[in-house]
Each structure stands twice: as C-alpha cells, then as structure tokens.
Amino acid sequence: MFLKDLLFRFPNPNFEEEDFERTFQLYEEVKRFSPSWKIRSLEHLKDLEQKMIQKIQKNEFIGPDQPYPTPPMEKEDWLEPINSRKELFLESRIQHNCIFSYDTRILEGEYYIYRIFFPERCTLSLFYINGDWYLDQIAAAFNKEAKAETLRKVEEWRMQNGIFVLGDAFRLGIPPDWIFAR
C-alpha cells in the first residue's frame, strides 16, 4: 500500500519493478531503525536513510560483544561471515551502511551477514524462512550497487550452496503463502 501511494503521489516514469523492491527494503530498514519517522516522499525516504546511516556512524560500539549463531555457509577465500556484534558494527562503519540495524534479527537466527572482499568490497545479507536461506541484498560501500562481476560470483556461490532468492520460488510456481506458512 505504501509504495502504491508513493507511486501515485510522486509518479516517476523511470521507476522499475526492481526499484519497488529496493524502496520497500529501504522503507522497512528506516522504520525499524526509527518507527516514529514519517516518510513524505521517495526523496524524503532517501534523506532519512542517510540520516540513519549518519546516526549509526556517529555511535561507538556499546557492548556486550556477543557471538552470532553459527553461519549457514562457511568462509571462502573471497567472502567471510560476520561472527559477532562488534564485527557487524565495524562493517556498518566501514561500508557506511545501516547493516547494524539487523543485529537483533541475526541473534535470533533470522538473518546472516557476510563481508565480500573480491571482486570488490561489499556486504551480503541472507534471511531465513522455514528452513531455507534466501539472498537478501548485496551492496558496495554507501549502498552502491555491486558490480556485475561480483553479482555473478555471488550467483554461482548461492547456487552451489542451495541459497534461494524469492524469485526462484515464484518462477517454479510455488505460492508465496506456502513459503511463509510451511
């Protein structure tokens, strides 16, 4: 409903389906970080994202430094799991993103974060639904899009490790409510 409302109030002929997904993810991150913030437009949403990142960047890590659950996939020569709260905080600072806002969900086993070193420095997130891991996001520093070479490497890795993307289920004709309700 939120995205339809934004689309009608602030039409943009260049807005594509992928933009809806990215915008909704951003909306969820901003609202999780500060539920009281009111979002007035797409530009305002982007401004609030920057404000959120700046607030995270200003903070120092406040312990306790707690280890995260065992990662779903092991370390590779080009990618490694983030294993603790402090590591996640530092990843957020280094990459200038809001990934630390996922801390609680990682502790609860709903999410996992990896740092990518090659072909470029990125942050990768996975989420867990009913026994399966799904690729969530891959982003370079400042939430910039990852390069095609990085995306290809991640795609190969996820296929080898049985990690899904929600589109896999939809392409196979599996109803969305089955994924979330099983």
Please check whether residue 90 lies inside any domain of the structure: yes
Q: 170 and 101 share a domain?
A: yes
Please check whether residue 70 lies inside any domain of the structure: no
Q: 103 and 144 share a domain?
A: yes
Q: 118 and 171 share a domain?
A: yes
CA–CA distance from 12 to each of 3, 42, 47, 49, 105 (Å)? Answer: 12, 10, 18, 20, 33
- Token readout for 150 is 């990085």
**In contact, 68 and 84? CB cutoff 8 Å:** yes
Domain span holding position 137: 79-181
Mean pLDDT is highest, among 29-43, 80-94, 168-182, for 80-94
- Token readout for 8 is 């009608």
Q: Which of 119, 82, 118, 77 is nearest to 97 (CA)?
A: 82
Please check whether residue 22 lies inside any domain of the structure: yes
Strand partners, 170: none
Q: 138 and 100 share a domain?
A: yes
74-83, 139-148, 164-173: segment of lowest average pLDDT: 164-173
Q: 19 and 100 share a domain?
A: no
Report which of residues 171 and 91 the model is more confident about.
91
Per-residue confidence (pLDDT) for residue 44, from 0 to 100: 87
Q: 95 and 176 share a domain?
A: yes
Please check whether residue 65 lies inside any domain of the structure: no
Per-residue confidence (pLDDT) for residue 182, from 0 to 100: 46
**In contact, 151 and 138? CB cutoff 8 Å:** yes
Q: 92 and 175 share a domain?
A: yes
Q: Which of 20, 142, 153 is nearest to 28 (CA)?
A: 20
Percent of the chain at pLDDT above 90? Answer: 46
d(CA 157, CA 134): 12
Please check whether residue 71 lies inside any domain of the structure: no
Q: 134 and 47 share a domain?
A: no
Q: Is the pLDDT of residue 7 over 70?
A: no
| Band (11; pLDDT cuts 50, 70, 90) | low
| Band (15; pLDDT cuts 50, 70, 90) | low
Structural domain total, the chain: 2
Please check whether residue 66 lies inside any domain of the structure: no
d(CA 80, CA 74): 7
Task: Classify residue 10 by its DSSP letter.
Answer: S
Q: How much is the average pLDDT of 58-68? A: 79
Q: 39 and 88 share a domain?
A: no
Q: Is the pLDDT of residue 26 over 80?
A: no
Q: What is the pLDDT of residues 96-117, one digit of tens each?
A: 888 988 999 999 999 999 999 9
